[in-house]
Amino acid sequence: MQIKDRLIVALDVTEREKALELVEMLHDCCGMFKIGLEPFCIFGPTFVEEIQDRGGKVFLDLKFHDIPRTVAQAGRAAARLGVEMFNVHIAGGSEMMKAVVEAVREETAGKKQAKILGVTVLTSLGADELTRDLGIDRSPLEQVIFWAQEAKECGLSGVVASPREISAIREHCGRDFLIVTPGIRPAGFESGDQKRISTPGDAVRSGVDYIVVGRPILQAQDPRQAALDIVREMEEAIR
């Protein structure tokens, strides 16, 4: 895998033509495009196919969280779209995760299988929010490790976690367990609504597999150059 393939661009755009222009501009200098709830709800499943038609691969970031059968069926639908990866909330429990893993295995028998990632603690949450809003007494790091180990036991391909937990996940879950990291901000870019963040270089040095970058690329005067600069920073970090 080339370094550029480890960059996932978060395509958080509400205008279809603008989004597709970005795909045309960026598909050869990143590995995937992340389609989250907002663009998926606005443009629908055909948007995934339009990105694929333009040479882009898709990480479907809908964070499925429901009863096991419902999430299993949603996973089947995501697999039929041909996405590279999609995610579920680990908080949905082990039976939910096992059900979606089995459903996708059946759906893609003999074909390339979509990778299923487990969402751990959102990067917008800190220790105070975990305790006050969710009633979780573990620190964010402890909760992430707990959930990552559960996800691995249930057969998920990896997790979505903040940059601060990369090393610990590696230690507890091994090198082959995928880690996808949002909350990536180049030096000097404001953190926005993210609390547990890192630079591209630091994330790669910590052992991440993929980084997700949105606003620093989408809001740049030259999005392609911004993406290339991030790839260059990642390359320098592993030399």
Q: Which of 5, 66, 202, 229 is catalytic?
A: 66
Take residue 231 and report the two structure tokens written for it: 């790839």
Query: Is 67 one of the annotated binding-site residues?
Result: yes
Query: Is 123 one of the annotated binding-site residues?
Result: yes
Query: Is 76 one of the annotated binding-site residues?
Result: no
Query: Is 217 one of the annotated binding-site residues?
Result: no
| 61 catalytic residue (yes or no) | yes
Query: Is 61 one of the annotated binding-site residues?
Result: yes
Per-position b or e across 75-96, b if 16+ CB within 10 A of its CB: beebbebebbbbbbbbbbbeeb
Do the beta carbons of residue 148 and residue 173 sit within 8 Å? yes
In angstroms, rounded to a whole number, what is the distance separating the alpha carbons of residues 206 and 194?
Answer: 19
Query: Is 185 one of the annotated binding-site residues?
Result: yes
Query: Is 131 one of the annotated binding-site residues?
Result: no
| 63 catalytic residue (yes or no) | yes
Q: Which of 61, 152, 195, 209 is catalytic?
A: 61
Query: Is 69 one of the annotated binding-site residues?
Result: yes
DSSP characters over 173-191: H-TTSEEEE--B--TT---
Dihedral of CA atoms 192, 194, 198, 199 in degrees, nearest 10, equals: -30
Q: Which of 63, 152, 195, 209 is catalytic?
A: 63
| 66 catalytic residue (yes or no) | yes
Take residue 79 and report the two structure tokens written for it: 């697999």
Catalytic residues: 61, 63, 66
Annotated binding residues: 12, 34, 61-70, 123, 185, 194, 214-215
Instruction: List binding-site positions for substrate.
Output: 12, 34, 61-70, 123, 185, 194, 214-215
